[in-house]
Amino acid sequence: MKFLRQIADTVRKFLRYLRIVRTCFFNFFINVQRCCTFLLFCYVRRF
């Protein structure tokens, strides 16, 4: 039983870590998209 609880704890920690990583990656992706849109907007306005 103790072994199973250890596995459950590890899985829980891993899932929490994965969620944090996913949130960071998602925010990064949104920022990159926004930056690209802004650059494209500036580029289009120049011509």
The pLDDT tens digits for 8-27 are 999 999 999 999 999 999 99
Tell me the two tokens of residue 38: 């802004």
What single-letter amino acid sits at 1? M
* Ordered alpha helix ranges (H), 1-47: 2-46
What is the pLDDT of the chain when averaged over all its residues?
94
Residue 47 has pLDDT above 80, yes or no: no
| Number of other CB atoms surrounding residue 3 within 10 Å | 7
The structure's pTM equals 0.56
pLDDT at 4 over 80: yes
d(CA 42, CA 40): 5
